[in-house]
Amino acid sequence: MATPGAEEDMLARYRSPLVSRYASAEMAFNFSERKKFGTWRRLWLYLAQAEKSLGLPITDEQIQEMEANLDNIDFKMAAEEEKKLRHDVMAHVHTFAHCCPKAAAIIHLGATSCYVGDNTDLIVLRDGFNLLLPKLARVISRLANFAEKYADLPTLGFTHYQAYIVTGQTYSRKVDIEVLSVLASLGASIHKICTDIRLLANLKEIEEPFEKEQIGSSAMPYKRNPMRSERCCSLARHLMTLVLDPLQTASVQWFERTLDDSANRRVCLAEAFLTADIILSTLQNISEGLVVYPKVIERRIRQELPFMATENIIMAMVKAGGNRQDCHEKIRVLSQQAAAVVKQEGGDNDLITRVHADPYFSPIHGHLESLLDPSSFTGRAPQQVAKFLKEEVRPALMPYQSKMGGKIELAL
């Protein structure tokens, strides 16, 4: 049997009819591989331009080379690199570097995979809404014209004169969707918060309140299960599913109303508010009694910091004249060796000892101590917290200060 060509190979795979038959060319492109990876390259260009403006050793020639190859993507090479490296971002770093030999040393410098991944996702979502909103506006405009044309035409209808400007016998059941969507979103946020607390409790870095005589396990006396967080997660999952009820109810309202909505609404609306009330009360109890164990955190940082410092080491080496991709490979090998000591032998992380012993890193041997300073890894986090509290959180809480039992101080 002959080996199928690229086109035949594509025909042998499932293709979503959403794209092949129905989607607009613009929206299909928005979620395409070419848009995705072309955006990655533009983000790498913006990164290099920003780093150059901040004084990093990046030349105009390197910038121009990247600009000239933004859409020159060898997808076959990228696929082969990803198959070998098992890492999509690094596969495209190497593919971009192949056509930008002068800029190869600084592509993706100081960045994580999420720099291109998450930012591209957000750009694609934004562009997707930019495609949808004009279409929605056109539909609304056409319906408005239709309503205006036939506004005086008498038709049979049933209305009980609700508060809303335009309504049938009942208020639009889309209101229920909006209400439960907000509560479902609250459930998702609380689930995320409490899941993180449970994970941190497992690491013994943070614990929720634990009563003096509370029992964590009938079999294991030492256990301090985060039972409040577990309860929040369990109930939050129920809260998140309730939004499906009003979605289905609103979708099957015949003309102005069908009576099959009442029993469902009696359950889902009340249960959503009851569940939200329970988990908020529980989360308040958790938040008022969280305990942090700095010594445990410090010990874990010491064990992991050498791995975390690898990007700083790469940055320092590039600043000293090294090649980012070459340095990445050197660090990757040494990191795997150090990880083997930790995982297979139960030993301490000896990555920095290995870096000290490798002459390749001699240009930065004298800077390793400063590169390993934990405070250098927090970035703008403290300032971001203060700004977020001042500009977002505190103003949002102001209308409720009388119900919270005290004055709300604005963060400086």
pLDDT digits (tens, 9 = 90+) for 259-316: 888 889 888 998 999 999 999 989 988 988 888 999 998 888 888 888 888 888 998 9
75: CB partners within 8 A, 6+ apart: 33, 37
| Mean pLDDT value across residues 305-329 | 89
Q: Rounded to an integer, what is the distance from CA 132 to the centroid of its chain?
A: 22
Burial (Cβ within 10 Å: 0-12, 13-18, ≥19) of residue 211: exposed
Residue 28 has pLDDT above 80, yes or no: yes
| Mean pLDDT value across residues 362-384 | 88
* Distance between CA atoms of residues 33 and 88, nearest Å: 12
Counted domains in the chain: 4
Q: Could you tell me which of 125, 117, 232, 140 has the C-alpha nearest to residue 186?
A: 232
Residues 318 and 403 placed together within one structural domain of the fold: no
Residues 282 and 319 placed together within one structural domain of the fold: no
Phi-psi region of 347 (alpha: psi -120 to 50; beta: other; left: phi over 0): beta
| Mean pLDDT value across residues 132-151 | 81
Domain of 211, CATH number, reads 1.20.200.10
Domain of 322, CATH number, reads 1.10.40.30
**238 is a catalytic site residue:** no
What pLDDT does 162 receive? 57
What pLDDT does 156 receive? 62
What pLDDT does 2 receive? 45
What pLDDT does 370 receive? 87
Catalytic residue among 160, 238, 356, 365: 160
Q: Is residue 404 part of a domain?
A: yes
Residues 212 and 189 placed together within one structural domain of the fold: yes
Range of the domain at 256: 156-292
The residue written with tokens 């591209």 in the block is 120
Residues 28 and 115 placed together within one structural domain of the fold: yes
What pLDDT does 1 receive? 40
pTM above 0.85? no
Q: CA distances (Å), 71 to each of 47, 66, 152, 201, 286, in order?
A: 17, 10, 56, 47, 51
Q: Which of 6-20, 51-65, 258-272 has the highest mean pLDDT?
A: 51-65
| Mean pLDDT value across residues 4-20 | 74
Q: In the structure encoding, which two tokens stand for residue 385, read together?
A: 């917290």
What pLDDT does 225 receive? 82
- The secondary element (H helix, E strand) that includes residue 306 is helix 294-308
88: CB partners within 8 A, 6+ apart: 82, 113
**189 is a catalytic site residue:** no
Instruction: Out of 90, 119, 148, pick the residue that ends a domain.
Output: 119
Q: Could you tell me which of 223, 195, 217 has the C-alpha nearest to residue 279?
A: 195
What pLDDT does 412 receive? 34
* Distance between CA atoms of residues 251 and 52, nearest Å: 54
What pLDDT does 69 receive? 97
CB atoms within 10 A of CB 382: 10
Domain of 42, CATH number, reads 1.10.275.10
Q: Is residue 147 part of a domain?
A: no
The residue written with tokens 């955006």 in the block is 39
Q: Which of 140-144, 154-158, 314-318 has the highest mean pLDDT?
A: 314-318
Per-residue pLDDT band for 345 (boundaries 50, 70, 90) equals very high
Each residue's pLDDT tens digit, 392-408 = 988 888 887 777 765 54
| Mean pLDDT value across residues 129-143 | 85
Residues 331 and 397 placed together within one structural domain of the fold: no
Instruction: Out of 247, 270, 292, pick the residue that ends a domain.
Output: 292
Residue 244 has pLDDT above 90, yes or no: yes
Per-residue pLDDT band for 21 (boundaries 50, 70, 90) equals confident
Q: In the structure encoding, which two tokens stand for residue 342, read together?
A: 């930790």
Catalytic residue among 217, 262, 287, 362: 217
CB atoms within 10 A of CB 116: 24
What pLDDT does 408 receive? 47
What pLDDT does 241 receive? 96
| Mean pLDDT value across residues 121-133 | 91
Looking at every residue in the chain, the average pLDDT score rounds to 86
Q: For the chain, what percent of residues have pLDDT higher than 70?
A: 90
Q: Which of 98-102, 131-135, 202-206, 213-217 has the highest mean pLDDT?
A: 98-102
Residue 82 has pLDDT above 90, yes or no: yes
Which residues share a beta bridge with 291?
207
Each residue's pLDDT tens digit, 98-121 = 999 999 999 999 998 999 999 999
Could you say which DSSP state residue 311 is in? H
